[in-house]
Amino acid sequence: MPKTVNVRVTTMDAELEFSFHPNTTGKQLFDQVARTIGLRETWYFGLQFVDSKGFITWLNSEKKVMAQDVRKETPLQFKLRAKFYPEDVAEELIQDVTRRLFFLQVKEDVMGEEVYCPPESAVLLASYAVQAKYGEFNKSTNHPGYLSSERLLPKRVLEQHKLSKDQWEERIQVWHEEHGSMLKEEAMIEYLKIAQDLEMYGVNYFEIKNKKGTDLWLGVDALGLNIYEKQDRLTPKIGFPWSEIRNISFNDKKFIIKPIDKKASDFIFYAPRLRVNKRILQLCMGNHELYMRRRKPDTIEVQQMKAQAKEERLQKKIERDQLEEEKKRRATIQREKENMEREKQELMMRLYEYEETTKRAERELQEQLDRAMRLEEERRRVEQEASRLEAERMEAIIAKEELARQAEDQIKSQEQLAAELAEYTAKVALLEEAKRVKEEEADSWHSKAIEVEENLLRTKEELHTVMSSTNSAPVVAPASSSSSSSSSDSESDHEHSEENEHSEENSTYSAELQTQGIDDHRQEEERLTEAEKNERLQKKLMALSSELEQARDENKKTQNDMLHAANVREGRDKYKTLRQIRQGNTKQRIDEFEAL
């Protein structure tokens, strides 16, 4: 035998490899695994292995590893799995590592359909699984199709509904968005709080027979023993809480449970193999121990773990609140920055409009100035023309006077003189008429020049007003801000050689269960499901159920689907059923079991 043995332990999210001495016990190996992953709530877990006969078996902590029927391979293969389940995950699971291991295992059981989950609850659980992986929904990073590569729903649910992958993802995304800033660790515990209300959660099922030989299922879970009919593993028919049981024993295939009630007879059933009875006894002892522990004051170790976990979660909450405040502050700053930028743009537009108005006014002013200069030049030209005409008129008058004098002095031909006189008279008349026209035209140009000067004055006043308004408009600089398992046991129950068990068939195994000194025996019967506690969640689940019902293919419903639907119609859930199956005294329920 080699000095050391290589072993590979697979947890729900990692693979660990060790070497150990051949004399190492199961407890020593388990403790080494727990230390490696930082697991302190060890009482829920165990190491599984496949034995030489192909059965899945729990490693016995008291025996040496190599003395147990571990399949010989290199390295030896083990799985770290939850063996026992809490009654209330939120109250009992302390460490984040424990919660994560339970989350992954229960998720695997739901996806693998070891635990039945109705479609609407499957969508809700998927949204919590997405939150646990991605955190808060963010449109900038969670683009359409971000769930396309995820395995989110049980195959049964996908096949039973006429919905595309995109339609399923859309429904899951709606819930994901609703979870808001929920932490990944909180999403895991919310997943488990919903999952623990499923009927098959945390139940280990074993095939048994009563005295009449009726095939039944025995369900062993955190709350006690339940009896199921062969065709219905969802709804138990009879229940026995751990507080009613004082002794469990078996001899060969016969299992005897002794109730505390002395008036009741022993509760007897038969299992097909000795190996199964050993497992039933181990699970009963472990679940009963945890049942009793939960109903007693916490040990110092658990109190310290809870205090530490509470402090860590409080610190995380403070950090998350600070982060949320910072996010809000940054969002406010960003909004203010955007508003200021928008106002700046508006002011810049107004400034641009003022500048355009000023330029237009300057152009108009220049045009008015040019027009005034042209008018002034025209006025001067008209005045010059009028002066010329006046000079010509004066010359004509002089000429007329001269002619008159000549007429007096030189009397020649009267007709010639008269003609010349008439000619000059007519010319004088024409010149006077031309002068009158030119004077009128000069007056007209003079009036226009005055009007242009008035317009020029008004334009200068408007330009002065616009320039004053522009100089008084505020200019805004860009704002800057600092960025701130349940399981039904995969061991197959096919008939197999039990040559090593014959020597144990006549041995009796017994466990005495203590029920003294506990605070409360039956508090679990008063529990409500998460949906009942949250009216809004209940309504949304009902609405989603109705919506999915319309897309459901009735021909693909399974037996569990029909059983669940019947329970819903009759108003039953896991805890109401528990109250119902525990009615009456222990003797009545044992008699009912034997009559099945």
Average pLDDT, the chain: 85
Nearest to 77 by CA among 24, 10, 14: 10
Amino acid letter for position 175: W
Query: What is the arithmetic mean of pLDDT over 319-327?
Result: 85
Q: Summarize pLDDT for 220-256 with one digit per residue, the tens.
A: 999 999 999 999 999 999 999 998 898 999 888 899 9
Residue 285 scores a pLDDT above 60: yes
Least confident interval from 124-128, 514-518, 550-554: 514-518
Residue 158 scores a pLDDT above 50: yes
Residue in the structure block whose two tokens are 């010989």: 72
pLDDT band, residue 517 (cuts 50/70/90)? low
Which helix H or strand E contains 229, and what residues bound it?
strand 224-229
Residue 267 scores a pLDDT above 90: no
pLDDT reported for residue 516: 62
pLDDT reported for residue 269: 92
Largest CA distance in the chain: 188
Query: What is the arithmetic mean of pLDDT over 432-444?
Result: 80
pLDDT band, residue 313 (cuts 50/70/90)? confident
Least confident interval from 199-208, 316-325, 447-456: 447-456
Residue-level length of the chain: 596
Residue 117 scores a pLDDT above 90: yes
Nearest to 491 by CA among 205, 76, 141, 173: 205
Name the β-bridge partners of 207.
217
Nearest to 48 by CA among 67, 28, 71, 32: 71
Least confident interval from 32-36, 129-133, 340-344, 475-479: 475-479
Query: What is the arithmetic mean of pLDDT over 336-355?
Result: 91
Residue 477 scores a pLDDT above 60: no
Query: What does each C-alpha distance from 538 to 240, 545, 567 come to in angstroms?
Result: 30, 10, 16
Neighbouring CB atoms inside 10 A of 118's CB total: 19
* Most confident by average pLDDT, 28-37, 165-174, 408-417, 518-527: 28-37
Query: What is the arithmetic mean of pLDDT over 432-458?
Result: 79
pLDDT greater at residue 27 or residue 536: 27
Cβ-in-10-Å burial (0-12, 13-18, 19+) of 295 comes to: middle
pLDDT reported for residue 485: 42
- Does residue 416 contact residue 434 with C-beta atoms inside 8 Å? no
Q: Summarize pLDDT for 162-210 with one digit per residue, the tens.
A: 888 888 988 899 889 888 888 899 999 999 999 999 999 999 999 999 9
pLDDT reported for residue 555: 87
Q: Which positions ≥6 away from 266 have C-beta within 8 Å?
A: 256, 257, 258, 259, 590
- The three-state secondary structure class of 245 is strand
Q: What is this structure's pTM?
A: 0.71
- Angle CA 192–196–198, to nearest 5: 125
Residue 482 scores a pLDDT above 60: no
* Most confident by average pLDDT, 417-431, 519-533, 551-565: 551-565
Please report the DSSP string for 488-515 in residue order: --SS-------TTTGGGTT-EEEEE---
Residue 216 scores a pLDDT above 90: yes
Q: Summarize pLDDT for 2-43 with one digit per residue, the tens.
A: 578 999 999 998 999 989 998 999 999 999 999 999 999 999
Residue 500 scores a pLDDT above 80: no
pLDDT reported for residue 432: 84
pLDDT greater at residue 458 or residue 221: 221
pLDDT reported for residue 534: 85
pLDDT reported for residue 584: 84
pLDDT above 70 as % of the chain: 90
Query: What is the arithmetic mean of pLDDT over 297-306?
Result: 88
Find out whether the peptide bond into 474 is cis, omega within 30 degrees of 0: no
Residue 143 scores a pLDDT above 90: no
Neighbouring CB atoms inside 10 A of 276's CB total: 21
pLDDT reported for residue 473: 42
Instruction: Enter the tokens of residue 266.
Output: 């022993």
pLDDT reported for residue 221: 94
Query: What is the arithmetic mean of pLDDT over 51-62?
Result: 88
pLDDT above 90 as % of the chain: 38
pLDDT band, residue 510 (cuts 50/70/90)? confident
pLDDT band, residue 519 (cuts 50/70/90)? low
Q: Summarize pLDDT for 346-356 with one digit per residue, the tens.
A: 999 999 999 99
Amino acid letter for position 560: N
